[in-house]
Amino acid sequence: MKNKRKTISKEFIVKGKGLHGGKDSFLILKPNFNSTGVVFINTDNGEKIILSPSAVCALERGTVIGEGGFKVSTVEHLMSALFAFEIDDVEIEIKGNEVPAMDGSAKFFGEMLNKIPIIEKEEESDYFNLETPIEMESGGSYYKMEKSDCFKIECVYENNHPLIKRQVLELEINKENYLREIAPARTFGFDYEIEYLKKNNLALGGTLDNAVVLTKDSVMNKEGLRFKDEFVRHKILDLLGDLKIGGLRFKEIKITAIRPSHKANYDLVKLVTARSVYGKTK
| Catalytically active residues, by annotation | 262
DSSP calls for 32-70: --SS--EEEEETTT--EEE-SGGGEEE-SSS-EEEETTE
Length of the chain as a residue count: 282
Please report, in angstroms and rounded to a whole number, the separation of the first and last CA atoms in the chain: 10
Please name every residue paired with 256 in a beta bridge, in sequence order, or none if there are none: 144, 154
Question: Distance (Å, rounded) from C-alpha 212 to C-alpha 191?
Answer: 10
Write down the H helix ranges in the chain. 76-84, 107-115, 175-177, 194-199, 230-243, 262-275
3-state secondary structure at position 165: strand
Question: Distance (Å, rounded) from C-alpha 158 to C-alpha 12?
Answer: 37
